[in-house]
Each structure stands twice: as structure tokens, then as C-alpha cells.
Amino acid sequence: MPMTRRDFLKASAASAAAASIGMDWLHDSAYAAPAMTWHKSVCRFCGTGCGVMLGVENGKAVAVKGDKENTINHGLLCVKGFYLHKVINAKGRLLHPMIRKNGELVRATWEEAMTLVASKFQETIMQYGPDAVAFYGSGQGTTEETYIANKLFKGHIGTNNVEGNPRLCMASAVGGYTTTFGADEPVGTYDDIEHCDLFLLVGSNTAEAHPVLYDRLVARKKQNPQTKIIIIDPRKTPTNKIADLHLQVIPGYDLAVMHAIARILVVEGFTDEQFIKDSVNFSDGQNPMTYEDFKKFLDKYTPEYAAQQAGVKPEEIVQVARLFGQAKTAMTMWTMGVNQRVRGVWLNNLMHNLHLLTGKLGKPGSDSFSLTGQPNACGGVREGGGLSHLLPGHRSVENEAHRKEIAAIWNVPPEKIQPKPGKHTMAMFEALAKGEIKLMYVMCTNPAHSLPNLNKYLQGMQDAFLIVSEAFHPTETSKLADVLLPAAFWGEKEGVYGCTERRSQHMAQALEPQGEARWDGAILIDLATRLGHGQNFAHFKSVEDVWNEYLQTTKGKDMDLTGATYARLREVRGLRWPVPSVDHPGTTHRFVEGDPLFPKEKAAGRRMYFYGKPDGKAVIFARPDKGPEEPVDAEYPIALTTGRVLEHWHTMTMTGQVLELHRAVPKPYVEIHPEDATAWGIADKSTVRLLTRRGKLEMEARVIDRPRRGTIFIPWHWPEKLANLLTTDAIDPGSKEPEYKVCAVKIEKV
Ligand SMILES: Nc1nc2c(c(=O)[nH]1)N[C@H]1C(S)=C(S)[C@@H](COP(=O)(O)OP(=O)(O)OC[C@H]3O[C@@H](n4cnc5c(=O)[nH]c(N)nc54)[C@H](O)[C@@H]3O)O[C@H]1N2
Ligand SMILES: Nc1nc2c(c(=O)[nH]1)N[C@H]1C(S)=C(S)[C@@H](COP(=O)(O)OP(=O)(O)OC[C@H]3O[C@@H](n4cnc5c(=O)[nH]c(N)nc54)[C@H](O)[C@@H]3O)O[C@H]1N2
Ligand code: SF4
Ligand SMILES: [Mo]
């Protein structure tokens, strides 16, 4: 069979290493013409946070290269980052405001559009109160943009209906970190990769979703061939190229596996008893328990039991546990195969358990390290407080002292900030569907494509007054807008992104916004002014002013960024918090000596002190091994899971515009295991109909040995085949994150 370009990329030595493009030749090529200037920035795609240099000639973006000085990617980029300049210049850019008139979106001036937006806000708030309006943002907005939105909605309009797509993505990881360690975000950093002897990748297709990080794993294994890589995933993916062991679990049934690993670690003596004594408490989720109770709880989780639950071999589980126990250092890394589950928080807890039992935490090479999806989910939304229960600086709306502190910075009376959390994302869209929320401002996200179980929510988006700030048009959401606002795109604005490893990085503005596009932050400030709140926004004369105010909210907090001034960030390749002063270098490991917040006296000789917990001890949780919300049954006998491919980004509004990326994966498909295809009588490339309790979809079958038998997989990127017509909107009761990764489906030949 002839090799396509994609096959080639995937097959050559450690797939993503090949897909990461070393850009040395750019330095002396024709691209580096004298008229060209290079601007330091950060890739706007995944949470890896690669440093990029944007090349500009005559006011136009003409090239992108990896930033060699950036210690995350050392000049490497994957194909998405590499084509960013083509995205900027794409034909599909939205270049002027539009307003819906007689059912049609027609061109309008900024003045018309903003007058309409402001009057709709005023009318709606006057008639129905502030909770009738909502803001829905993004882990791809800058920290400054999210900060302004939060300040406007929570502090001035007076509603906590402020959410963002990280709810669909990182919420379960946040739930895991805060319950286990008492504070959000990882203990260590990417630096641990080069000291790590064992990587446990759970529900993460690292090669396609975090390619440059994957490249660092490949390099680590090359340099230290004893390094073990273990994967827990229902699919074989390009990540498998470097795997030593793959547990191909049934989607939704891997909680028991984590307990079984923990049990072997305990039974076979791989635990760090001193660490457990010093730094760990045990809990069943309601009440404290003893270490002995926990051991009894684990009794049930024999390798045989877990293997039977998860559809793998008992020996494989034993092998994973022993490798984990024996390895001097270990990192668990996970993404959506864990978080997008109704038991996402619990599974996060269970992975942390392994590190707490063995003390493989808080030292070089060992960490329980969540990979963040979007480039600024950590920065803007988690740290910046862009969710309905949060305030900036890892604060909570429910905490009176927190409300007072933030109200003082925002210059509003504390009573202005509501003490009750607003609606979480799925509840917000449900309220929109029911007409309880009347107006929504959507910024930098495409919910009419990315929300689960779309049939339940699309009508609500259509009926409500929808304001959409977008860089491209049409998108599934922009098509439903009543007012469409053209947003300045990456490269056309300045701002900060905070990536997976607690690193905040500055992006320079290198270009003027195209057409009439405006910076999202400026649009929100305009709105604030029109709503009569101008006095508290007028001092934002530059993006840096916004950042400086935001820094005040971080002072003295666990995510202290006060030392990360623009002056510094413009020069360095990011800083990892806590960074409490301008001469502080940033922090590689939290909760240990060297962390500026480590309370030496209180710690009294303990190696780790989890200062987010009252006694400084992290918690090992005995969580039940509950399965998915919608198990397969006689009527819907197949498990459906959804995810990503290397070349495309989410709803494809950006990557779909780049010919090279489009050609690599030109159309939607569903992956079916060859033996299943034979059993079901389905031929490769034939059309199949997929039906769930919520919707149906016809698409091309790709018969391929990737998903485990009984499981099918759809990359959810294509607007013409919305995978989310099929997915379930069941949510994790703790994190409120939907279970995109598992539902029951049946398949028919067409
Ligand atoms: N190319 C590309 N890269 C991206 C993105 C993109 O759109 N395109 N998006 C970014 C974002 S926002 C995110 S959140 C990340 C997502 O990054 P990933 O989570 O790595 O990507 P996914 O493909 O969504 O899912 C990963 C894996 O979870 C597995 N999985 C499904 N169910 C289960 C289960 O029950 N148990 C286990 N253990 N695994 C399961 C799937 O088989 C799949 O291989 O990627 C980021 N990077
Ligand atoms: N079935 C299924 N669904 C999923 C997932 C899954 O695994 N399976 N994953 C979920 C996850 S993890 C995530 S993170 C979400 C992501 O879902 P979305 O956030 O809805 O997807 P994106 O395509 O990233 O949307 C970003 C939008 O912002 C626009 N944009 C780009 N730059 C700018 C800018 O500077 N300003 C403004 N105003 N707009 C801009 C883009 O054109 C695009 O339309 O999807 C979730 N949905
Ligand atoms: S790995 Fe992620 S951050 Fe790096 S270039 Fe690719 S998409 Fe961008
Ligand atoms: Mo995500």
C-alpha cells in the first residue's frame, strides 16, 4: 500500500518525533530576509506551551519557527504550531462585526454591534436580574482576557455565571489535585522527564495530543534505554511506538486497575512507610480511615478481579505494579481518557495514591503530572478563576475573606460578588435551553460543536440572545449568533499563557489585527464602559496594566506570580510559579524545600508539607471502582469513545484552513477493529450508521487495529459529522465534567 504523508509521519522513528520539525534551516534560509522581524511568542494550540518565533515581513505573518531558547521545546514544533502563520492569514477570518436582522447575519459597524450588545445586556438584567446573563470563555483566551471578563461579570454585573471550556477538559484534574493535595496543579515540572525511569501514560495519546512533550519522552528513552513506558488506553495509538507494555482496557473500567496496582505495591513492600507516616492521611471520601483500614479496603482488588473488570490480563497488572514499585523514579501522566469520565476525579485520586504510597513525588523524576489540554487552561481559567465557583488567585466565591480581597482590588463593595457559585457549564447550557438564562456572551470557544449531547442544547443557543466573539466564520456557534464580533487572533495581540507546568509565558503582539478585528479584552472593556462600569476599567491603558492588576490577586498565594512582571516575561522564556519577587527564579517542585511557601518550622523535618491541607498531609482515597454512566447492553452493545488526531485542533476552525493539515486527514471516519468489522459485516471505507440514545450519524468506516474489540473511536473534529450528536452529557458529580470518553452505541450498515 502506498504511504500517505500521514502514514509517513506516523511510521518514522517515534512518530511524533518525526512530526516535530527541527527548524534549523530557517536561520539561514531565504526566509530570514533582512526585512523580516521575529517575535517571541507561544504556540496557541496545545498545553505543552512550545515557544515559537513569529516571522513578520511588511506587516504580514510569513513564517513560524520553534524558539530555540525555550527550554520546553528547544526549537521543535509539531505540525500544528509550524503552520500557525497560515492560520493567521486564512480566508475564513471574520473581519467585521455582524448582526442578525430578519433572521440573517448581516454586516454592521462596531458602533451598531456594541450598542445592541449593551442594550440587550441592560434590558435583560433589568427585567430578569443578573443571573439571566452568562459568560462562556476558554482555555485559549489569554489570562488578561479572562481576568477582564471575570471582573466585569462577577464584580460588576454581579453574576457568577462565568464558565469556560476547561470545565469540559481539566475540571476532573483540578478536583483530583485539590482533594488529594489541597491545591490545584502539579507538584513538579517538565524538568522531571529527563530524570524519570518509568512513565505511566493513562488515557493520554501523548504522541498526537502533546507531540513535543512526547518527543522529550522519546529522547529520555533513547538516552536511558532502561526507561519504561506503560500505557493504559482502550486504543493502540501512535504513542504505542515507544511502549513497553499496553493495558488495553475496556473504556470506563480502569479504576479497579489502579487499586490493584496499589494493592501489589502494599503487599509486596514497595511503599515508603516513613513518607506515609509523615505526609499522608487516609479517607474513604466521607470519613478518615487508618492505613490498616485502607489495606483491608484493597483486599478485594486482586489482579484477577481488576483484570476481569478492565478486560486485561492479571499478569499485566502485576507487571505494571512491580515495574512502578521497582523504578527509582516514576511519572504518571494523563489527559482526557481519565478526566472526561463520570468518575474522573476519583480516577485522578487513585493515580495520586500510587505516588503517595511509594513517595515517588516531590523529587526529581517523580510526579503525578496532569497534562493540560489547552494553552491557557491553567493560567487564565484555573489560576485566573474563570469558573463559576472561583475567583482569581485560586480563590473561591463561597469564601467571604476571598470575596473581600478581590472586591478591594476590583474597587467594588464585597456584596457585589455573589457568595453562591454560578451555574457550571452543562447547567448553564441547560438553563439556556430552558430559557432561564436569556443572554450569553461566548468568547474563544465553539460550544455548538464541542458540547456533548448537542441535540439537547442547540435549540437553546439558537433561541437565546447569543453574542459570539470569534476569529473565524462560519463556525457551528457563529452561525447561531445574534451578534458576531471579530476578534484579533494570535500574533495580533499581546498577552500571557500559562501551560501545564505552572509556567507563564508572554506573547508579543507582532501584527495589527486584520480587517476591523479587535482585541477580546478591548471589546469587554468597551462593554463594561457602556454598562456604566467604565471607572473601574478606564485605567487599563495597555495589556500590561491588566496583567499588573491580576498580579495583585496572586500576591502571597500558592500561585504567587508577583515576580513575573512583563519586563521579565518579555525577556525570559516564562516563569514557573510560585515566583514571589522579581529576583526569584521560579519553582520546580512544590511542597518541598525550595518552594518559597514551604513552612520549614511547621514541616519539622518532613520531606513534603502539603500546605493546602490543615495538617500538611495529602490524602489517599479509597474510592469505589464505579464504571461508566452508560454501560453497553443488548440494545447498544458497543462502547463509543471520541478524541483527537495529530493534525487537527478541536472544531477545526483553525487547522481546517491549512491545506497541508487538511490533506493529511481530509475527512471524518470511525475506527473499527478488523475482527469486529468482520463479525459485523462492515467493509473498510463503507458507510455506517451509528446510533446512541441521543442521536445518529453516518460516516465512513476505517477498519484498523487501533481500538480494542467492542470499542469504536471517532475523532470529533469535523463540523459536517458532529460526534457530539452521539455523546452523553452525563457529568462527574464532583467536577461536573462530561463523560465524552464513554457511551453505548449500535452500528448499522448503510
Ligand atoms: N492534535 C491535537 N492535540 C491536542 C488537541 C487537539 O485538538 N488536537 N487538543 C488539546 C486538548 S484541549 C486536550 S484536552 C488534549 C487531549 O489529549 P488526549 O486526552 O491525549 O487526547 P484524546 O484523543 O482526547 O484522548 C486520549 C485517549 O483517551 C483514551 N481513552 C478513552 N476512554 C478511556 C478510558 O476509559 N480509560 C483510559 N485509560 N483511556 C481512555 C482514548 O482511547 C484516547 O487514545 O489534547 C490537546 N492537544
Ligand atoms: N466529543 C468530544 N467533544 C469534546 C472533547 C472530546 O474529547 N470529545 N473534548 C473537549 C475538550 S477537552 C475541549 S478543551 C473542548 C474544546 O472545544 P472548543 O473550545 O469549542 O473548540 P475550539 O475549536 O478550540 O474553539 C475555539 C474557538 O475560538 C476561536 N478563536 C481562536 N482564536 C480566537 C481568539 O483569539 N479570540 C476569539 N474570540 N476566538 C478565537 C476559534 O476559531 C474556535 O472557533 O471540546 C470538548 N469537546
Ligand atoms: S506540541 Fe502543542 S504547543 Fe507544541 S507546537 Fe505542537 S500544538 Fe503547539
Ligand atoms: Mo481540552
- What distance in angstroms lies between residue 380's CA and the mean position of ligand 3's atoms? 18
Q: Determine the residue of 45, 83, 654 to mutate for testing ligand 3's pocket, defined as the one with the most ligand atoms within 8 A of the Cβ atom.
A: 45
User: Coil, strand, or helix at residue 109?
Assistant: coil
Whether pLDDT at 29 is above 90: no
Q: Mean pLDDT, to the nearest integer, of 590-608?
A: 97
Selection from 552, 538, 532 nearest residue 408 by Cα: 552
Confidence at 209, pLDDT banded by 50, 70, 90: very high
Q: What is the DSSP string of 212-249?
A: HHHHHHHHHHHHSTT-EEEEE-SB--GGGGG-SEEE-P
Q: Mean pLDDT, to the nearest integer, of 419-440?
A: 98
Q: Determine the residue of 371, 470, 732 to mutate for testing ligand 2's pocket, defined as the one with the most ligand atoms within 8 A of the Cβ atom.
A: 470
| Region of poorest pLDDT, from 21-35, 352-366, 439-453, 630-644 | 21-35
Confidence at 16, pLDDT banded by 50, 70, 90: very low
Whether pLDDT at 23 is above 90: no
Selection from 64, 18, 42 nearest residue 208 by Cα: 18
| Per-residue pLDDT tens over the stretch 510-531 | 999 999 999 999 999 999 999 9
Write out the three cell numbers for 96. Answer: 467585521
* Ligand having the closest approach to the CA of 239: 1
Ligand 3 contacts CB of residue 406 (under 6 A): no
Ligand 3 contacts CB of residue 154 (under 6 A): no
Write out the three cell numbers for 730. Answer: 452525563
Q: Mean pLDDT, to the nearest integer, of 192-219?
A: 98
Helix, strand, coil distribution of the chain in percent, nearest 5: 35, 20, 45
Instruction: Please name the helix (run of DSSP H) or strand (run of DSSP E) that holds residue 162, with its range, or none.
Output: strand 162-164
720 burial class (0-12, 13-18, 19+ CB within 10 angstroms)? exposed
* Ligand having the closest approach to the CA of 77: 3
Write out the three cell numbers for 375. Answer: 494553552
- What distance in angstroms lies between residue 204's CA and the mean position of ligand 1's atoms? 5
Confidence at 6, pLDDT banded by 50, 70, 90: very low
Write out the three cell numbers for 690. Answer: 451509528
Q: CA–CA separation, 277 vs 85, rounded Å?
A: 54
Confidence at 613, pLDDT banded by 50, 70, 90: very high
The full length of the chain comes to: 750
Q: What is the DSSP string of 644-659?
A: --TT--TT-TTGGG-H
Q: Mean pLDDT, to the nearest integer, of 131-148?
A: 98
For atom 44 of ligand 2, the residue with the nearest CA is: 446
For atom 4 of ligand 2, the residue with the nearest CA is: 450
| Per-residue pLDDT tens over the stretch 430-447 | 999 999 999 999 999 999
Whether pLDDT at 304 is above 80: yes
What local confidence, expressed as pLDDT, does residue 28 receive? Answer: 44
Ligand 1 contacts CB of residue 203 (under 6 A): yes
Task: List own/partner pairs for 593-596 with CB under 8 A and 24 or more apart.
Answer: 596/560
Measure Cα distances from 459 to 255, 345, 449, 651, 672 in Å: 36, 31, 13, 19, 32
Whether pLDDT at 12 is above 50: no
Taking a 5 Å cut-off on Cβ, the residues next to ion ligand 4 are: 169, 373
Question: What is the distance, to the nearest Å, from the Cα of residue 152 to the centroid of all Cα atoms in its chain?
Answer: 24
Beta bridge partners of residue 133, listed in sequence order: 439
Measure Cα distances from 417 to 151, 162, 413, 529, 672 in Å: 10, 12, 8, 19, 50
Q: Mean pLDDT, to the nearest integer, of 467-492?
A: 98
Instruction: Please name the helix (run of DSSP H) or strand (run of DSSP E) that holds residue 325, with its range, or none.
Output: helix 314-326
Whether pLDDT at 288 is above 90: yes
Buried b / exposed e along 428-455 (16+ C-beta atoms within 10 A): bbbbbbeebbbbbbbbbbbbbbbbbbbe
User: Coil, strand, or helix at residue 410?
Assistant: helix
For atom 23 of ligand 1, the residue with the nearest CA is: 643
Question: Could you list the active site residues?
Answer: 80, 169-170, 336, 373-374
| Per-residue pLDDT tens over the stretch 96-116 | 999 999 999 999 999 999 999
Ligand 3 contacts CB of residue 81 (under 6 A): yes
Q: Is it true that the peptide bond before 474 is cis, omega within 30 degrees of 0? A: yes
Looking at ligand 1, which atom is closest to the CA of residue 647?
1
Ligand 1 contacts CB of residue 46 (under 6 A): yes
Round the average pLDDT of the chain to a whole number and report it: 95
Q: Mean pLDDT, to the nearest integer, of 554-576?
A: 98
Q: Mean pLDDT, to the nearest integer, of 85-91?
A: 97
- What distance in angstroms lies between residue 649's CA and the mean position of ligand 4's atoms? 10
| Per-residue pLDDT tens over the stretch 149-179 | 999 999 999 999 999 999 999 999 999 999 9
Question: What is the distance, to the nearest Å, from the Cα of residue 743 to the centroid of all Cα atoms in its chain?
Answer: 21
Looking at ligand 1, which atom is closest to the CA of residue 251?
35
Q: Determine the residue of 46, 85, 140 to mutate for testing ligand 3's pocket, defined as the one with the most ligand atoms within 8 A of the Cβ atom.
A: 46
What local confidence, expressed as pLDDT, does residue 35 receive? Answer: 85
Q: Mean pLDDT, to the nearest integer, of 204-219?
A: 98
Confidence at 33, pLDDT banded by 50, 70, 90: low
| Per-residue pLDDT tens over the stretch 654-674 | 999 999 999 999 999 999 999
Confidence at 623, pLDDT banded by 50, 70, 90: very high
Whether pLDDT at 20 is above 80: no
- What distance in angstroms lies between residue 473's CA and the mean position of ligand 4's atoms? 21
Beta bridge partners of residue 469, listed in sequence order: 443, 485
Whether pLDDT at 8 is above 70: no
Q: Which pTM does this prediction carry?
A: 0.96
Ligand 3 contacts CB of residue 16 (under 6 A): no
Write out the three cell numbers for 579. Answer: 515566583
Write out the three cell numbers for 215. Answer: 518527543
Whether pLDDT at 332 is above 50: yes
Q: Please enumerate in sequence order all residues whose Cβ is within 8 A of that of 153, keeping only pairs 6 or more positions apart, or say none.
A: 133, 135, 159, 160, 161, 162
Confidence at 32, pLDDT banded by 50, 70, 90: low
Percent share of the chain, pLDDT over 70: 95
Looking at ligand 2, which atom is closest to the CA of residue 488?
35
- What distance in angstroms lies between residue 554's CA and the mean position of ligand 1's atoms? 31
Ligand 3 contacts CB of residue 654 (under 6 A): no
Whether pLDDT at 2 is above 50: no
* Ligand having the closest approach to the CA of 255: 1
| Per-residue pLDDT tens over the stretch 679-704 | 999 999 999 999 999 999 999 999 99
> What domains can be seen in the chain, in order of their start residue?
5-88 (3.30.200.210), 98-167+376-540 (3.40.50.740), 171-370 (3.40.228.10), 638-749 (2.40.40.20)
| Per-residue pLDDT tens over the stretch 227-286 | 999 999 999 999 999 999 999 999 999 999 999 999 999 999 999 999 999 999 999 999
Ligand 1 contacts CB of residue 209 (under 6 A): yes
- What distance in angstroms lies between residue 714's CA and the mean position of ligand 3's atoms? 22
